[in-house]
A and B are shown apart, each in its own frame.
Chain A
Amino acid sequence: AQTVTQSQPEMSVQEAETVTLSCTYDTSESDYYLFWYKQPPSRQMILVIRQEAYKQQNATENRFSVNFQKAAKSFSLKISDSQLGDAAMYFCAYRSGDDKIIFGKGTRLHILP
């Protein structure tokens, strides 16, 4: 069974600085998707970025980028120029071939003004 591990329950970063959230996963599949979702206090799940496993190039969305290391089964999220609106719970997620999404336990990100 696939698992997703986020080892950092909470993190803090100064506004305008860069922060990296860690995520590792375990799977025997060769083709899958990885995601980072943001959940603000409103509880809405917002897709931040996604990565297809067969693509070697790391995904980038404006200030958000990932470091995808397939062999190491690592998928970290880097947030550049952190903003107050980035404060939220961040979930790393894995989607398998049967379309199920497995979420990590989340990392709560605090932005310090």
Chain B
Amino acid sequence: GAVVSQHPSWVICKSGTSVKIECRSLDFQATTMFWYRQFPKQSLMLMATSNEGSKATYEQGVEKDKFLINHASLTLSTLTVTSAHPEDSSFYICSARSGTGWSQPQHFGDGTRLSIL
């Protein structure tokens, strides 16, 4: 149980295009999902907290207009990288918490490798 699916797992696109990454909780409802970014050989950095039915909360230094987050339902959050450039190339990982109590663990998706040419 508690599976989080991310799609696509790998995407390559040209500079200037927009890319949408989906994060789905397959067997549980998640009112809150989280988006992380991981550069090669570095740690995961929280980008934003995605809340179902409301605006995402972005961490300091993360451009809201660059990284659009939509949490349309209790099982789906999307991250859209708008007008992507080579410096946006990274590994993006989402996580979702099962249950409403903060003691519940977060479950991670398998990540999306984004390469901008």
Residues of A within 8 A of B (CB): 33, 37, 42-45, 47, 50, 52, 91, 95, 97, 99-106
B49 contacts A99, C-beta separation under 8 Å: yes
Residues of B within 8 A of A (CB): 32, 34, 38, 42-46, 49, 91, 93, 95, 97, 102-103, 105-106, 108, 110-111, 113
Distance (Å) between the CB of B41 and the closest chain A CB?
A: 8
A97 contacts B102, C-beta separation under 8 Å: yes
Contact A100 B46, CB 8 Å, known A44-B110, A44-B111: yes
B residues less than 8 Å from A102 (CB atoms): 46
A residues less than 8 Å from B106 (CB atoms): 95, 99, 101
Distance (Å) between the CB of B21 and the closest chain A CB?
A: 14
Contact A42 B110, CB 8 Å, known A99-B32, A99-B102, A100-B49: yes
A residues less than 8 Å from B113 (CB atoms): 43
In whole angstroms, what is the CA distance A91 to B93 when docked? Answer: 15
A residues less than 8 Å from B97 (CB atoms): 99
A residues less than 8 Å from B38 (CB atoms): 43
In whole angstroms, what is the CA distance A100 to B74 when docked? Answer: 19
Distance (Å) between the CB of A42 and the closest chain B CB?
A: 7
